[in-house]
C-alpha cells in the first residue's frame, strides 16, 4: 500500500491547515515505528509494516498542486493499482474535526486531488480531514494557508493520534470502523465556532476553483 499525506513543504508551513495530510502521515510513522523519511519520488518516503502488510508512506515535496507527479512516480515504481493508494488531505467542506473516507469519485476542486486525478486517475482512496470553511468565500485561500489556531490543539492532537492508531482498519478496507474510532476520539472536543457545511456538502462536495494550492 502507498499511504500519502498532502501538504506544502517548508518549516514555516508545517502547522498550516493545508498540511494536515503531512501531519497525519508523520503521526502514522511515529505510531507504527517507521524509520526516518528519506528523499525519493520528489518527496519524502518511509517504508515499514502496518497490520502485517508492507506500507510506503509518502509526503510529496512538489507543493500541493503538483502532488500527483510525486505519487505517480511511486505508483509506477511499486507497480501499484490506484486502489492501493490512500491519500490524507484537508477538507473545507467538512466541519473541523470531522473525518470521511471516500474511494473513487471526483476531486471536488481540491488542487492536490486534481493533480492526482490527472496522473493516476480517480480510483484511489482518500481520507477527508475536516478543517471547516471560513465565513466568506474570498477567505478560503487565507484560511487553508494559515496555521491552526491555539484553540484547535485539543481536537487536532486527538484526531491525528486516532488516525495513526486506527489506520490498520483503513488499510483492511474497514472504513466504517476506522471512521467510528476516529470520531469517538474527538467527541466533545470539536471547536464551538466550527462552521458546519450545507447538508449535502459532506457527501457530495461541489467544485470550488478557489480551494487549494
- The H helix count followed by the E strand count for the chain is 6, 7
Q: Which residues are catalytic?
A: 18
Q: In what order do the strands lie in the sheet with 85-91?
A: 38-40, 43-50, 53-60, 2-5, 85-91, 125-130, 99-103
Helix 175-185, helix 153-171: angle, nearest 10? 160
Distance CA 42, CA 107 (A): 22
Consecutive H or E run containing 7: none
**Residue 163, H or E segment:** helix 153-171
Provide the 8-state DSSP code for 211: S
Q: Which three cell numbers stand for residue 100?
A: 470521511
Amino acid at each position: 500500500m502507498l499511504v500519502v499525506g498532502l501538504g506544502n513543504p517548508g518549516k514555516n508551513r508545517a502547522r498550516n491547515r493545508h498540511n494536515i495530510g503531512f501531519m497525519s502521515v508523520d503521526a502514522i510513522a511515529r505510531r507504527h515505528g517507521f524509520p526516518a523519511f528519506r528523499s525519493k519520488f520528489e518527496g519524502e518516503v518511509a517504508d515499514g509494516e502496518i497490520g502485517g502488510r508492507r506500507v510506503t508512506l509518502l509526503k510529496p515535496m512538489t507543493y500541493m498542486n503538483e502532488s500527483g507527479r510525486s505519487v505517480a512516480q511511486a505508483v509506477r515504481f511499486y507497480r501499484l493499482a490506484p486502489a492501493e493508494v490512500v491519500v490524507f488531505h484537508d477538507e473545507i467542506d467538512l466541519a473541523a474535526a470531522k473525518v470521511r473516507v471516500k474511494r473513487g469519485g471526483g476531486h471536488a476542486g481540491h488542487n492536490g486531488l486534481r493533480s492526482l486525478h490527472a496522473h493516476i486517475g480517480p480510483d484511489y482512496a482518500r481520507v477527508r480531514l475536516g478543517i471547516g470553511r471560513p465565513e466568506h468565500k474570498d477567505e478560503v485561500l487565507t484560511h487553508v494557508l494559515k496555521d491552526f489556531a491555539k484553540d484547535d490543539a485539543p481536537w487536532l492532537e486527538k484526531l491525528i493520534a486516532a488516525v495513526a492508531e486506527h489506520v490498520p482498519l483503513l488499510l483492511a478496507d474497514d472504513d466504517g470502523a476506522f471512521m467510528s474510532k476516529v470520531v469517538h476520539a474527538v467527541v466533545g472536543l470539536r471547536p464551538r465556532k466550527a462552521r458546519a457545511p450545507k447538508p449535502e456538502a459532506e457527501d457530495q462536495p461541489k467544485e470550488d476553483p478557489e480551494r487549494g494550492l
